[in-house]
């Protein structure tokens, strides 16, 4: 069945691939970008302006969206970015910006659209979280916090929306090659005692980014969920994700020792 699907952050990376694929499959797709004019001419689906860190943008987007479409079947909350840096060296201001976009922006946009979903008495909300919303790693404390917050929020929302036949789920990707690294905001190191560790972490992260696979598995997973009648809540995705999570849950010391070793060897 052809559906009307909104994909936030559809100008790049995972969101772009999801939106293109859904369009190719014959769905009616609306994407978003903070700068739609820059990308629209190259895209086969309509791109609307949306900055999820800006309340006015979310409000005017909500109005514009329903001028374009009569119904909404699926919301894919994909827009987001990465703040990197050692926790103590990352300013609270930068940390707040991370939460403002990844957590609050996603929540506010969802709230803007919920009245329509409730009125329809059906809908699906798929949020792109991260494996870092299920585990923590060094150098991404605020990103990890923002994605953990999404997990808790949407877990609760899933219960509340069950009565309206609105399905809520999360996709939690491992590392995949997109523009997330280039688009990241980086804290500048200023505490000498961290100099060596900072260097090791940056080598470790570079290796992880360089060796990351393309994001097609995430796209395939989202497409599957779009067609699922009764989706689960959580979909970790990526090579080794289940082993990683099992170690984290049942053998935390082993998990921790393995990460410490890999960072130290970098
Ligand atoms: N790549 C990975 O390894 C990975 C792993 C786990 C989770 N994720 C998650 O996957 C999602 C997509 O990331 P990606 O890897 O595809 O990165 P990307 O290539 O940098 O794409 C990010 C997208 O989000 C949009 N965006 C960023 N800030 C925004 C804001 N304030 N308001 C509205 N849109 C905004 C960007 O659109 P404009 O710049 O055009 O506005 C862009 O389309 C993110 O939520 C990310 O946390 C990625």
What is the dihedral sign for C-alpha 221, 225, 226, 227? positive
Cross-strand partners of 187? none
Regarding the beta carbon of 128 and ligand 1, being less than 6 Å apart is answered: yes
**Residues 150, 222: Cα–Cα separation, whole Å:** 17
Which secondary-structure segment (H or E) carries 12? none
Q: Can you give the pLDDT at residue 76?
A: 99
Distance from Cα 239 to the centre of ligand 1, integer Å: 20
Distance from Cα 79 to the centre of ligand 1, integer Å: 5
Q: What is the pLDDT along the chain (266 residues), one digit of tens a residue?
A: 899 999 999 999 999 999 999 999 999 999 999 999 999 999 999 999 999 999 999 999 999 999 999 899 999 999 999 999 999 999 999 999 999 999 999 999 999 999 999 999 999 999 999 999 999 999 999 999 999 999 999 999 999 999 999 999 999 999 999 999 999 999 999 999 999 999 999 999 999 999 999 999 999 999 999 999 999 999 999 999 999 999 999 999 999 999 999 999 98
Residue of 180, 6, 206, 1 whose CA lies nearest to 98: 180
**Residues 14, 178: Cα–Cα separation, whole Å:** 7
Regarding the beta carbon of 51 and ligand 1, being less than 6 Å apart is answered: yes
Residue of 263, 206, 209, 215 whose CA lies nearest to 238: 215
Regarding the beta carbon of 13 and ligand 1, being less than 6 Å apart is answered: yes
What is the dihedral sign for C-alpha 254, 257, 262, 265? negative
Pocket test for ligand 1, best of 12, 82, 144 (most atoms within 8 A of CB): 12
Q: Terminal CA-to-CA distance of the chain, rounded, Å?
A: 49
Regarding the beta carbon of 47 and ligand 1, being less than 6 Å apart is answered: no
Pocket test for ligand 1, best of 36, 50, 79 (most atoms within 8 A of CB): 79
Regarding the beta carbon of 176 and ligand 1, being less than 6 Å apart is answered: yes
Query: CA triplet 131, 198, 172: central angle to 5 degrees?
Result: 5
> Could you give the strand order of the β-sheet that contains 123-128, starting from the edge strand earlier in sequence?
46-49, 28-33, 4-7, 74-77, 123-128, 166-173, 234-237
Global confidence as pTM: 0.98
Neighbours of 176 (CB within 10 A): 20
Query: CA triplet 259, 265, 266: central angle to 5 degrees?
Result: 95
Residue 131 CA: nearest ligand 1 atom is 6
**Residues 49, 52: Cα–Cα separation, whole Å:** 10
Catalytic site positions: 143
Q: Can you give the pLDDT at residue 1?
A: 85
Q: Can you give the pLDDT at residue 204?
A: 92
Distance from Cα 256 to the centre of ligand 1, integer Å: 28
Residue 8 CA: nearest ligand 1 atom is 34
Pocket test for ligand 1, best of 18, 80, 134, 179 (most atoms within 8 A of CB): 80
From the candidate CATH numbers 3.40.50.1240, 1.10.1660.10, 2.40.50.100, 3.40.50.720, the one assigned to the domain spanning 4-191+214-240: 3.40.50.720
């Amino acid at each position: 069945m052809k559906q009307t699907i909104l994909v936030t952050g559809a100008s790049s990376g995972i969101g772009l691939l999801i939106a293109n694929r859904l369009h190719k499959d014959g769905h009616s797709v609306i994407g978003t970008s903070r700068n739609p004019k820059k990308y629209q001419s190259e895209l086969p689906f309509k791109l609307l302006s949306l900055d999820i860190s800006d309340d006015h943008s979310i409000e005017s987007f909500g109005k514009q969206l329903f001028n374009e479409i009569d119904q909404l079947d699926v919301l894919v909350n994909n827009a987001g970015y990465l703040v990197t840096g050692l926790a103590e060296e990352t300013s609270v201001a930068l940390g707040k910006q991370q939460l403002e976009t990844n957590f609050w922006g996603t929540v506010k946009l969802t709230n803007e659209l919920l009245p329509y979903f409730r009125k329809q008495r059906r809908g699906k909300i798929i949020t792109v979280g991260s494996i870092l919303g299920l585990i923590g790693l060094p150098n991404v404390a605020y990103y990890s916090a923002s994605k953990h917050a999404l997990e808790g929020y949407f877990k609760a929302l899933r219960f509340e929306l069950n009565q309206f036949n609105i399905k809520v789920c999360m996709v939690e990707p491992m590392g995949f090659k997109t523009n997330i690294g280039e688009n990241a905001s980086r804290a500048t190191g200023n505490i000498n005692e961290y100099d060596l560790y900072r260097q090791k972490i940056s080598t470790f992260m570079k290796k992880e980014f360089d060796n990351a696979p393309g994001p097609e598995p995430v796209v395939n997973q989202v497409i599957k969920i779009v067609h699922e009648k009764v989706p689960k809540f959580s979909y970790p995705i990526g090579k080794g994700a289940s082993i990683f999570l099992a170690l984290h849950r049942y053998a935390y010391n082993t998990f921790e020792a393995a990460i410490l070793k890999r960072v130290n060897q970098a």
